[in-house]
A and B are shown apart, each in its own frame.
Chain A
Amino acid sequence: MFVINCPYCGERDQSEFSCGGEAHIVRPKQPTELSDDEWAEYLFMRKNIKGVQFERWNHAHGCRKWFNMVRDTSNDKIHAVYKMDEKPPVI
């Protein structure tokens, strides 16, 4: 059970948060111009890394804000937490 440092609220128990999967997948601006394969790439394909992974998290039972988190999935170490409009840190 992690302690997550919400960029808006501070440290809170993991049970207040929900994970929204891989981060930095941008919704295409013009979906209608994509081929089936390109759209499928956006829609379905996700990495599942053993190691450092960039993830979306939501403080669901708190401020309801979405933010990004860098987590090592092999040991659950959280390397960084940053707001949606911030650049991802270099890990």
Chain B
Amino acid sequence: MTKYRINKTRFVDQTKTVSFTFDGKKYHGFEGDTLASALLSNGIHLVGRSFKYHRPRGIMSCGSEEPNAICQINANTDLTEPNVRATEIELYEGLKASSQNCWPSLNFDIGGINNLISPFIPAGFYYKTFMWPKSFWKKIYEPLIRLSAGLGKSPTQPDPDIYDHKHEHCDVLVIGGGISGIISAKIAAKNNLKTILIEDKNILGGSTIYQNNKNFIIDNQKSNEWLMNEISELEKLDNLIIKSRTSLAAFHSYNYLLAKENISDHLPLDKKNGSIRQRLWKIRADKVIVAAGAIERPLIFNNNDRPGIILANSVKKYLDFYGVSSGLNNIIFTNNDSAYETAVSLFEKGISVKIIDIRKKSSSNIVKNAEDLGIEIYWNSTVVNTFGYKKIKSIEIMNLSEDGSNVTGNKHKIQCDCLSISGGWTPMVHMHTQSGGKLDFREIDQVFVPSEKSENHINVGSCNGDFELEEIVKNTNNKVKKFLNINESGFDKISVLCSKELEKKNIWLLPNTISDGKTKSFIDFQNDSTAKDIKLALREGFKSIEHVKRYTTTGMATDQGKLSNMHALGIIADTAGVKMGSLGTTTFRPPFTPLTFGAIVGRSVGKFFDIVRKTSIHEWHVQNNAKFENVGQWKRPWYYPINNENLHEAVQRESKAARDSAGILDASTLGKIDIQGSDASEFLNRVYTNAWSKLGIGKCRYGLMLNEDGMVYDDGVTTRLGENHYLMTTTTGGAANVLSKLEDYLQTEWPELDVYLTSVTDHYSTASICGPNSKKILKKLFPNKDFSDEAFPHMSYQDAIIDKIECRIMRISFTGELSYEINIESKYGKSLWENCIAAGEEYKITPYGTETMHLLRAEKGFIIVGQDTDGTMTPIDLQMDWIVSKKKYDFIGKRSLYRSDTMREDRKQLVGLLTDDPNEILEEGAQIVSELDKKPVEMIGHVTSSYFSPNLNKSIALAVVKGGKKMNGQKLFVPMENKNINVTVSDFIFLDKENKRINA
């Protein structure tokens, strides 16, 4: 045993030694230790450097509120995790931890220079100083800040661990396994309610489980003994799930909660293998009982941040739970009774302890207990300074003035190696407020407590502001019974004896002989903000707590201000002379403690990250060397390189082949909606800009769909299959949205229409064959069919049979070539495709991908919705007036086409662009200007599509240009980084304006 391991407890097994390293040096602890308790047992307090001033900092607490002891675990491996609190890491054999934020080393710290220049680093320093000159940012400020700031290092390799999600429903969820949580869970479970109890520690019992004091008696037993029995009874209950090592992350509305369970973080590396690391529970609970406890407050005085200054109840937990004394020469500095329990416990183990209390007296049992033991108490006193660089060595105290606003008398110096501080308790109201609950300010002990009553959740125990053992036990019992509609519980006749605090006093910022400006009274230890910073922010005009918080960064570190928020509020209230309750609090946002990304994504990683949709022809594309592009969730062949061709070379070859002989495209991904019903024609009339009533059965028509604001939304060809039956196609990416938009109109605006919509996108595969030889190929595939222009004209469809399988042939074209699309049930798609390839072999049929498709349609000036349009283009802007019916009384978006704004002549309009140098290819997205010298440069449009056309042997582009309709022949410029490209506005139909090729 080390000299600090002075006590044997039932929670730490001192027969089982565990070795670990901290900053590369090997140490020993025991099974049951946390990293923090093991470090303290080795006499190590110094664990990190502060964020801004790089001051030495030590372990300060024993839980999730810890601001200083944050570590990097398994540094330089793919398992590394930054920003882990040493107070929460369970010790395991081989644990490798290192301190953060102290380059080049913990003991020799270059950033400590900031401490010396600290008078020059006030609140908002970064905002004020690093503003200018601008050129300094990239080379000087940013690297400087990044090197000396920053918390921990991210892993550079993919996370090898497995994470899990689990959905759970229960009648009652109890958050927190302290005494009030245990009482609540027992009452619920014993009344046949399916109950879940979650506790973030590995052992239930909260702070009562180590409350070993004769002043706290339940049913004639010491409170810890009584609770131990309750826990063993609890574990026998059937309808109770106890989840330890599980912390609540978020409490959403409708009692939807997220909790993170640590499954293997506490296991040695060789035992973790293959097991799930963490599980995120998604719990929907009928009723929630929050028993989250309270966090002890520090006191704010000059140099209150030295290693060896620890919260008083944490000192007690290290002593009575882990058997470790944080110091051998202790001073306790308090404003309340709870710290006296720490003093008594230290004294009873023979460890030197003195008490400094800002109150004039306290007449409670526990204080009397301390006095009777002969512990020296300095009443009405405050600490004004502390000494010792890497660990506290001594303190100076003074008397407080009558009203506590000042100090009087002489300074008195006392030696110590540990200073326990206690500024009272802050109820953990985070869960309550996350769920939407409001707070009240309780003046007597200056705490925010839950106010509004909710039907679906309650707060019990110290998170509800009940701090004394008797009120905790009795109020919890009464509240839970009422909440769950239970008449009797096993706790109705319980007897509780406890010490009661009668004298209360709180001073947010303790007075000093020197002015605020010259003290270092830390409020936020992790972000290094002081009382001085808060006062400066107020002087500079910040009033709202949310603004002060951001300006000073108070409460914005990884601990989210668990220790600092209340003091920041208190000092603002005192300085501004307003009531604290009127300030409100900052917003508590989830998660309560940091969550790993792994826990958030669960199993949705790698190939499970998103759905991948493949057409039934996909395997053929893979075998034929296709490069794929993602279109929404679809994988579409992009191009099919042969012999190391690059994208450009492949596309040039594919495009030429499609126009010279035959090309084939997998068009299965286009959205397909089956429309049936006696009002189907009327419905199409209302959703498309053109007229549909006169479309004959067996005919196809291109349609443009607008939003109600007149902007182009989607396009595609719709085929009339029967009197009351249509097949609509949509863009690949727009399919789902079009369907829901159409459903919306049908259900809400036109419920009188007899129309039924069914998505059939996945039902059919489509092979699209185009080119002058396409008809010959179709004839080979369907020898009995008449493909003459009279029998099977452009924009018509026919049923057909291939290999005894029914299919539909549409003679439609998106390339301007003679073209046929064959639709067949998906499962036959690949076989159809292979038939097409075989039949086309003698014509060198060439499979082409989306890039060639885009090029071919651009040659013809066909738009792609979403590429040449961006939600601000009307059909008139696109020069597609021909498709907008003048006769129809109404269709979606019609009225918007003659709003004053949509009729402006200087709107951006679709044009063609030709570069003066035919080999120069414009960049899509490039800006267009008409005057190069004008300042500021006026951008009149941008390039939307741009290609080198092998069929025209020149570069072509589509663009949208302000007033472009009237600019044909005009010279414009596309300024690039190194040059200006000269372009001429042209017709946007570059090839076959007379549409001869469609009937070639």
Q: Which residues of A contact B (CB under 8 A)?
A: 1-3, 13-14, 20, 26-27, 30-32, 34, 36, 39-40, 43, 56, 58, 60, 64-66, 75-76, 84-85
Contacts and interface: CB of A to CB of B under 8 A. Distances in A.
A71 B66 CA distance: 40
B747 A1 contact: no
B975 interface: no
27 contacts: A1-B254, A1-B256, A3-B254, A3-B284, A14-B254, A26-B749, A31-B890, A31-B894, A32-B889, A32-B890, A32-B894, A34-B895, A43-B708, A43-B709, A43-B896, A56-B748, A58-B743, A60-B740, A64-B740, A64-B743, A66-B744, A75-B253, A76-B254, A76-B436, A84-B748, A84-B751, A85-B751
Interface in B245-260: 252-254, 256
Given A32-B889, A76-B254, A84-B747, A39 B895 contact: yes
B254 A58 contact: no
Contacts of B743: 58, 64, 66
Given A2-B253, A3-B284, A32-B889, A39 B744 contact: no
Given A32-B895, A58-B744, A75-B436, A27 B749 contact: yes
B966 interface: no
A84 B744 CA distance: 11
Nearest to A23: B748
B689 to A, nearest CB: 14
B925 to A, nearest CB: 29
Contacts of B895: 31-32, 34, 39
A21 to B, nearest CB: 11
Nearest to B900: A36
A1 B253 contact: yes
B899 interface: yes
A7 to B, nearest CB: 12
Task: Determine the interface band of chain B, counting residues with CB < 8 A from chain A.
Answer: 20 to 34
A11 B244 CA distance: 31
Contacts of B256: 1
Given A1-B252, A2-B253, A31-B894, A39 B899 contact: yes
A32 B888 CA distance: 11
The 5 A-B residue pairs whose C-beta atoms are closest, nearest first, are A31-B895, A1-B256, A66-B747, A76-B253, A27-B749
A56 B747 CA distance: 12
Identify the interface centre among B252, B895, B900: most chain A CB within 10 Å of its CB: B895
B744 A20 contact: yes
Interface string B669-711: 0000000000000000000000000000000000000001100
B899 A66 contact: no
Contacts of A56: 748
A65 B743 CA distance: 8
A26 B708 CA distance: 13
Contacts of A31: 890, 894-895
Contact of A36 (B747, B889, B890, B899): B899
Contact of B254 (A2, A30, A40, A43): A2
B899 A40 contact: yes
Contacts of A34: 895
Interface string B104-121: 000000000000000000
Interface in B724-763: 740, 743-744, 747-749, 751
Nearest to A76: B253
A3 B747 CA distance: 23
Contacts of B284: 3, 13
Contacts of B889: 32
A1 B890 CA distance: 40
Interface in B70-95: none
Contacts of B744: 20, 58, 66
B747 A65 contact: yes
Given A30-B890, A40-B899, 11 more contacts: A3-B284, A32-B890, A39-B895, A39-B896, A39-B899, A43-B896, A60-B740, A64-B743, A75-B436, A76-B253, A84-B747
A30 B78 CA distance: 65
Identify the interface centre among B747, B748, B894, B900: most chain A CB within 10 Å of its CB: B748
A80 B661 CA distance: 63
Nearest to A38: B895
Contacts of B894: 31-32
Nearest to A18: B740
A34 B740 CA distance: 27
Contacts of B747: 65-66, 84
Contacts of B436: 75-76
A34 B744 CA distance: 23
A47 B894 CA distance: 24
Contacts of A2: 253-254
Contacts of B899: 36, 39-40
A20 B890 CA distance: 23
A20 B748 CA distance: 11
Nearest to A85: B751
Identify the interface centre among A1, A56, A76: most chain B CB within 10 Å of its CB: A1
A3 B896 CA distance: 38
Given A32-B895, A39-B895, A40-B899, A58 B740 contact: yes
Identify the interface centre among B889, B890, B894: most chain A CB within 10 Å of its CB: B890
Contacts of B252: 1
Identify the interface centre among B708, B751, B894: most chain A CB within 10 Å of its CB: B708
Contacts of B748: 56, 66, 84
Contacts of A58: 740, 743-744
A14 B255 CA distance: 13
Nearest to A29: B890
A26 B895 CA distance: 15
A43 to B, nearest CB: 6
A80 to B, nearest CB: 16
